[in-house]
Amino acid sequence: MPDSKSIPLAGSDEVRIRQGVELAKHCRFGVGGPADWFVEVRSAADIREAYRFARERDLPCFTYSGGSNLFFDSRGFRGLVVRLIGGGWNVDPDSLVVDVSSGTDLPLLIRNLARLGIGGADFLGNIPGAVGGAVVGNAGCYGQSIDGMLISAEIYDIEADTMFTAEPDYFEFSYRHSRLKYDPLRMVVSASLRFREADPLATLEAVEEELQLRLSKHPHDSRCAGSFFKNISREQSAWRIITDAGMADSRVGGAQLSPMHANFLINEDAASSDDILALCRMVQRGVREKLGIEMETEVRYVGQFGIEEIRPES
């Protein structure tokens, strides 16, 4: 299907819903076939119009923001893919609560706030992706995660075509997980996050130091989605478990575990979604057989009709 046809989004002269867009170009993993329909939106009003377009045509939908923690099916998506881009934020100068839209780049947000003397979230400063995805996946590192900062979030209920405010308990947060991670009917439009005063120079230096540490250990130039499997605990890291099980050099087709870090599954040579899924399950099977440990994924897989949880083979 050629990437040529497009339809203006109702109520907008600039936003267009495009047909046949290659999803591989719109995620960090670089994996994904053509979406029947694809649109990039910035506002809540445009989000609602995009989903009205889908309802009128009875189309399956998937919504995401940064695209750093997922991959699409190589056969594409048989419906409408909505991507939240851009964004903005406002700071309450008294409480240092920041209201931020989902499409806002997370590392850029942390650095911009740091320059204003607003910090307390250094651990988020080098996690790629956008704010919406960080909330949905409960992003974090070093024993901290974004759920500890969240005050509330604005949620769009696609089925009911309504917006509502959700407090942290609604999300049922756990390690790298929330109830919205595999929910196709609700999406985070914006979030209110609690920050605190911080020394600008010290904060920026800490974020930069952590970045250099990451660059020394992780294959950040590779096409991947960061850590692929969840750690079992702080003492049982996924990369160590994979290595101890003798799986560190595993490869299927164009997908392989990075020689630099065994928990980074990378698109080394035009990997397909089937390559990634097969390698994922090979690792899960090998770890189970060697160590009796079940490995769960952090990364999301978007099939042809919606989000699908990658479960270990029985």
Q: What residues contact residue 22 under an 8 Å CB cut-off, 6+ apart?
A: 3, 32, 33, 34
Whole-number pLDDT of residue 314: 58
What predicted TM-score, i.e. pTM, was given to this entire model? 0.91
**Domain ranges (residues) in the chain:** 6-84, 89-201, 229-296
> Tens digits of per-residue pLDDT, 96-136?
999 999 999 999 999 999 999 999 999 999 999 999 999 99
What is d(CA 144, CA 55) in angstroms, rounded to the nearest whole number? 39
User: 15, 69, 66, 80: which is closest to 43 by C-alpha?
Assistant: 15
CB 261 within 8 Å of CB 224? no
What are the backbone dihedrals phi and psi of residue 239, each rounded to the nearest 5 degrees, phi first? Answer: -65, -35
Digit-by-digit pLDDT tens for the chain (314 residues) are 444 588 999 877 789 999 999 999 999 999 999 999 999 999 889 999 999 999 999 999 999 999 999 999 999 999 999 999 988 999 999 999 999 999 999 999 999 999 999 999 999 999 999 999 999 999 999 889 999 999 999 999 988 999 999 999 999 999 999 999 999 889 999 999 999 999 999 999 999 999 998 888 888 789 999 999 999 987 899 999 999 999 998 999 999 999 999 999 999 999 999 999 999 999 999 999 999 999 999 999 999 999 998 877 75
Q: Name the residue with tokens 């706030």.
A: 113
Q: What residues contact residue 161 under an 8 Å CB cut-off, 6+ apart?
A: 48, 51, 52, 55
Just give the CATH number of 6-84.
Answer: 3.30.43.10
Q: Which CATH architecture has domain 89-201?
A: 2-Layer Sandwich (3.30)
Beta strands 307-308 and 162-166: pairing type? unpaired
Packing angle of the helix pair 200-217, 106-115 (nearest 10 deg): 150
Query: What is each CA distance from 109 to 159, 183, 189, 205, 264, in whole angstroms?
Result: 31, 26, 16, 15, 25
Q: Where are the alpha helices (DSSP H) in the chain?
A: 44-56, 106-115, 131-136, 168-171, 200-217, 238-244, 273-291
What is d(CA 34, CA 23) in angstroms, rounded to the nearest whole number? 6
Q: Which CATH architecture has domain 229-296?
A: Alpha-Beta Complex (3.90)
Domains 6-84 and 89-201 share a fold: no
Q: What residues contact residue 177 under an 8 Å CB cut-off, 6+ apart?
A: 137, 138
Q: What is the CA radius of gyration of the chain?
A: 19
Residues classed as catalytic: 176, 227, 298
